[in-house]
Structure 1
Amino acid sequence: MKKILLLIFLFGFSYWMNAQYIEPEKSVKEAEKKKQSEIITLPKSKFDSVVAKNMLAIGKSKITGVAFTRARESKNFNMKTGNKVNANQMKITLYPVTPYFQEFYKLYKDKTKHNPKKNMFVEMERDAYRYRLEAITNSDGEFTFPDMKPGKYYMFGVLDYVTTYNSHQYTGSGYDGYGRIDYYSPYSYQKNDSELLELFVEIKQDGEILKVKLK
């Protein structure tokens, strides 16, 4: 009898083990095939590193600002009318607005060229990507780009934050002399949000302190 029970146990354990399915990792060939299926668009203009380098050379101007957004509120149709959300410890990237970058940005905003859902991407040349500046905000969302020269610049950052929504949940029904009564209780839930903050700015004269809001 004990042997029979042992065999049943071993058979059941073996079946449970065999029922497990572990998703295999994609092979190098599969990853490469997916990469080859991507449609990559690059600007046709030639990137001029001398122009970009000169625009990012040390100057006497400064860009200071604050990065933030507004929380979405369900009571106002999910519009950004809630409390101010400061960009805490967010990286802000700044590019000089060269002719090459202008073409890149136009392509990037074109949904027929850049659409990740359709595996379509607009990219910059590696050298163009290198010519940039970065700043990290403090807990109040404040940031600074010192030693800037006059010129046009583009800055952006991705702000991740949590939004709290308030609603009412059905908890049951009852009856009185007038008929049925439905009961609801308030509850709240949270949702992770991510928002692109971007801005074009221009320093018009050397020594200028430009104050901006990145939102």
Structure 2
Amino acid sequence: MHFGKPILLVFITFYAGSAVKAQYKEPEKKDKIETFYPKVPFDSLQAKQMLAKGKATIKGVAFTKPKSKWGFKVGQRIYANQIKITLFPVTPYLESWYALRKEKENLKKSRYVYLSNDAYRYRLEAITNSDGEFTFPNMKPGKYFLQGFLGYTHYGTYNEYTGSGYNSYGGQTDYYQQKTYSVDHEDRIEEFVEIKQDGEIVRLKLN
């Protein structure tokens, strides 16, 4: 259904000889969501060969830290408990996707860069335990990109003003009550890793 431009309506009510006009407020404009895909052709045969079974192992631990008001990660680790870690082979297509994401998403929050459906099919997945640990066994030598999304809740306290009164000295006293608040976050944790020799064990911190 298509609607035209909003119509400004003015209501006039007479009360004690005065007129009151209702004010129309324009709706807030949101940035239009833009989506992008790499233009490099995806080679499914290459991706399939890179994900063929080998004798190497990737062992990792996934975690994040709360962010300060300046955007830096500080404090104790928050381990990824039962989240999915996805592994992609680093093909020319994925390298193009990663470079495009850095270019587009950093400029605007309403921009998103996606893998094609064909490229997304060629992946491996693992689930972390309660300590954030995960394993990808039977890997071949090569470069891989690992990614997970770790959600957590930050709790804090603040003092809410509840009123004021006069004390016994005639001065005014302000009263406050401590209250708690919570803010939900989701961090995108990711890392590139390289297996150089068949049979080796590569250890990784994903944060």
Q: TM-score, normalised by structure 1?
A: 0.71
CA deviation vs aligned residue, 1:51-101 (integer Å, no higher than 9, x gap):
21121111111111111111245xx66753233211111111110111111
**After the TM superposition, which parts of structure 1 deviate over 6 Å for at least 4 consecutive aligned residues?**
none
Deviations 1:177-203 (A, max 9, x none): 373232333322111111111111111
Q: Structure 1 unaligned segments of length 5 or more: list them.
A: 1-36
Is 1:208 the counterpart of 2:200 in the alignment? yes
Amino acid corresponding to residue 180 of structure 1 in structure 2: Q
Structure 1 residues 201 and 189: CA distance shift in structure 2, 3 A? same
Contact kept? 1:155, 1:198, Cα under 8 Å: yes
Partner of 2:5: none
Residue of structure 2 in register with 1:145 after alignment? 136
More helix by share: 1
- Residue 124 (structure 2) pairs with residue 133 (structure 1): yes
Task: Work out which of the residue numbers 47, 54, 62 in structure 2 matches 1:52.
Answer: 47
Structure 1 residue 121, shift from structure 2 partner:
4.2
Moved more, 101-110 or 130-139: 101-110
Q: Is the 1:113–1:121 contact (alpha carbons within 8 Å) kept by the matching residues of 2?
A: no
The change in CA–CA distance for 1:79 and 1:127 in structure 2 (over 3 A counts) is closer
- Counting only pairs closer than 5 Å after superposition, residues 156-175 of structure 1 correspond to structure 2 as 156-175=147-166
8 Å contact from structure 1 (residues 63, 148) kept in 2: yes
Q: Is contact 1:107-1:122 (8 Å) kept?
A: yes
Alpha-carbon deviation of 1:126?
2.4
Helix, strand or coil: the match of 1:109? helix
Q: Secondary structure at the match of 1:111?
A: helix
- What percentage of aligned pairs have identical amino acids? 51
In structure 1, the partner of 2:187 is: 195
1:90 and 2:87 are equivalent in the alignment:
no
Partner of 1:3: none
Report the TM-score when normalising by structure 2: 0.74
1:63 is matched with which residue: 39, 58, 61?
58
* Amino acid across the alignment from 1:212: L
Provide the C-alpha distance between the structure 2 equivalents of 1:164 and 1:55, rounded to a whole number of angstroms: 43
DSSP 3-state at the match of 2:62: strand
Distance, in Å, in 2 between the alignment partners of 1:86 and 1:102 is 28
